[in-house]
Amino acid sequence: MKHRTIYMGITATLFAILVLISGCIVPPGQNHQETPTQAGLKTPTANPAGLNATSEAEGSVVEANNRFAFDLFSNLRRSPDNAESNLFFSPFSISSALAITYEGARGGTADEIRSVFTFPGDDNARRQGFQEIGAGLNRTRDGYTLSTANALWAERTYRFLPEYVQTAQRYYRANATNMDFITNPEGSRMTINQWVKDQTNDKILNLIPAGAINPFTRLVITNAVYFKGIWVKQFDVNNTREEDFRIAPDNTVRVPMMERADRDAVFGYYETARFQVLKLPYTHRTGKGLSMLVILPKGDNLTAVEDELDLQRISEISGAIREQRVEVLIPKFRLETGYSLSQTLGTMGMPSAFDPAAADFSGMDGTRDLFITNIFHKAFVDVNEEGTEAAAATAVVVAVMAATPGEPVPVFRADHPFVFLIQDNDSGVILFIGRVINPGGTQ
C-alpha cells in the first residue's frame, strides 16, 4: 500500500536551458578517413509555435530537445522502476552528450540515434543550433547563474579521427583530455567525476559509478548543466508552515508549504477543466530570463494530466498564460535522481549503439570496434523561498569490444502531485523536467 500511494505523488518537470579536442588525442600514425554522415530521416520543423529561437538552426535543435524531453519523461514515468518515484532530469544535458556521440555514429546506428533525439538531419543546422544555444546559455547574465559544459575524455593510446575531435571542440566546446583508462581506470573515473562536481557547483557527485570504466573503455563524453536563480517575487520564510501533502487519496505527509497571498502575488496563470498552470519567473536584467512552469491536476489523477502533456500541448499552454493575482501555496522540495539510460534509450529506438556486433561509431575512429557500454545521468534540484538551484550531468561511456479584475482570485494549492519544468524564455529550450510525488523524499 505504501508503494502504491507513493506512485500517486508529484511529477516534477524542470527544464533548464543550457546548451553548450583537438588532435592531441590522436597518436602519430596512419590517418583514418571519416565516412559521410548518413541521411534519410525527416528533419524536425524549425521554430514551432511557442519557441523563441533566433535562427532556424537554433529552433530546430530546441524543438528536437523539447520533443525528446517529453518522450523520455513518458518512458521513465511508465517504467515499473519509477512508478512510485519522483522524477527529475535534464533533457538538454542528455541531448548535448548524445549529439556529440551522434557526430561519430554512422549507418543504422546514426539513424537510430537521430530518430530517438529527432536531431536535424542537416549537419550544418544541427551543429550551428547547438553552437548558438551553448553560446546563449553561457553568456554573462545579471540576476541568475546558468552554465553548461561538454568534454571528451579519451584513452591516450587510442587513435581517434582528428575530424571527430575537431567537430566536438568547434561546435560543442568539448575539449579533449587524454586519460589512462587501460592501467588506471579508477583514477580516470575519479578525475571525470571531479570535473562534473566542479562544473555543477558540487551538486552532482559520483556521476560514473565504480566499475563503469575499465581497461576496455576508450572514450567518455560528458555534459554538465548548472542553474541558480532567485524568484522575481520571493516567498516570505515566516509564511512557510508545515502542512499536509496528499500523495494519494488515503495517504498524506507533512511538508513545509510556502505561501504568497498578498496583493503583489501576480503571476502567469492558466487553467482548464482538468488542471491549473502557474508560471514563476526568476530575476533577470537582460533577455527574457528563465521561469518555472508548475502544472497541477485539479484532482488526484496525475496520470491523466501526464498523458496529455507533449511538445504541442506545452506550446499551447505557454501561449495561453496570462498575468493575474493568484494565491499560491507550493511545497519546498529537494530532489536528487540518478538513471542508467542504456536500456531506456535502447527501448526508445536506438539499440544498435549498445550492441557490440551492430554498433557503428566509425566516425570516431574509422573502425567498427566501438560501442556504448552505458549512459549515466544525475540531476539535482532545490526549490525554496528564495528561488531554485538545479544541476545535471550526463556521461556516455564508449568501449572497444573485448578484445481578470472582479473575478474570483484562483487558489493554486499544490498539496498533491504536480508536474513542473524550468525553461529558458529566450530560446524556449527545456533544461530540466521531472515530477514530484513526495516532496519529503529525495528520490
Is 349 inside a domain boundary? yes
Q: Do residues 210 and 73 share a domain?
A: yes
Looking at residue 441, its pLDDT comes to 77
Looking at residue 440, its pLDDT comes to 83
Q: Do residues 318 and 371 share a domain?
A: no
Is 322 inside a domain boundary? yes
Looking at residue 140, its pLDDT comes to 73
* Section 416-432 average pLDDT: 88
* Section 40-47 average pLDDT: 34
Is 443 inside a domain boundary? no
* Section 199-210 average pLDDT: 98
- Torsion angle defined by CA atoms of residues 378, 341, 191 and 431, in that order, rounded to the nearest 10 degrees: -40
Domain CATH code at residue 243: 2.30.39.10
Looking at residue 158, its pLDDT comes to 95
Q: Do residues 191 and 247 share a domain?
A: no
Q: Do residues 174 and 56 share a domain?
A: yes
Treating both helix axes as pointing N-terminal to C-terminal, what angle do 123-137 and 162-172 enclose, rounded to 10 degrees? 50
Q: Do residues 45 and 150 share a domain?
A: yes
Whole-structure pTM value: 0.83
Give CA angle at 68 (64, 74), nearest 5°. Answer: 155
Half-sphere exposure of 251 (CA within 13 A, CB side): 14
Q: Do residues 45 and 168 share a domain?
A: yes
**340 torsion bin: left (phi>0), alpha (psi -120 to 50), beta (else):** beta
How far is it, in rounded angstroms, from Cα 431 to Cα 66? 9
Position 8 pLDDT exceeds 60 = no
Q: Do residues 146 and 109 share a domain?
A: yes
Is 2 inside a domain boundary? no
Task: State which residues form the domain around 246.
Answer: 237-333+406-436
Domain CATH code at residue 132: 3.30.497.10
Q: Do residues 286 and 343 share a domain?
A: no
Is 426 inside a domain boundary? yes
Structurally, the chain folds into a number of domains equal to 2
Residue 277 corresponds to which cell in the numbers above?
498552470
Q: Do residues 141 and 253 share a domain?
A: no
Nearest C-alpha neighbor of 397 from the set 378, 377, 373, 367: 373
Q: Do residues 85 and 136 share a domain?
A: yes
* Section 156-163 average pLDDT: 96
Is 12 inside a domain boundary? no
Q: Do residues 224 and 242 share a domain?
A: no
Q: Do residues 385 and 345 share a domain?
A: yes
User: Among residues of the chain, what percentage have pLDDT more than 70?
Assistant: 86
